[in-house]
Amino acid sequence: MQYNTIKENEKWGMANKDGEILIEPKFDFIDDFNEYGLAQIELDEKYGLINNKGEIVLEPKFDFIDSFDEYGIAQIELDEKCGLVDKTGKILIKPKFDEIDQFNENGFTVVRLDYEVGIINTKGKLVIDFGEFCLS
């Protein structure tokens, strides 16, 4: 289905191609829907996600939400800490890491907390604990 952003009184929403309002204009910004049927929203300088039914699936309380990768995972940030959210809006990891790298082709990535590193999988599970190895 084709969606168009609409703006009314400095607030953004969505309408279908026939002009029928699907999401009332109430956000400071609303992005286009991605392949998972989610759009990034901004409200009071915080970011969240909304689905194409107009339901908020991730409350706008984050400082940043990255684009979704090929695993359907996006990085979220809050108070300079990183976490992960999946393509349904479920938080896999609450923002607690200092850094999260991109997932490799095997579905693993390095996370950093203070000066230690660990490895997580696409489910957000720590598969190699912090301090067990050193990356150079």
Task: Give the global pTM.
Answer: 0.84
List pLDDT tens digits, range 83-136: 999 999 999 999 999 999 999 999 999 999 988 899 999 988 989 887 755 554
Residues contacting 134, CB < 8 A, separation 6+: 117
List pLDDT tens digits, range 2-39: 778 888 899 998 888 888 888 889 999 999 889 999 99
Q: Using an 8 Å Cβ cutoff, are 71 and 107 in contact?
A: yes
Among the residue ranges 15-29, 45-59, 69-83, the one predicted with the least confidence is: 15-29
Residues contacting 57, CB < 8 A, separation 6+: 38, 48, 49, 50, 51, 88, 89
pLDDT score, position 135: 53
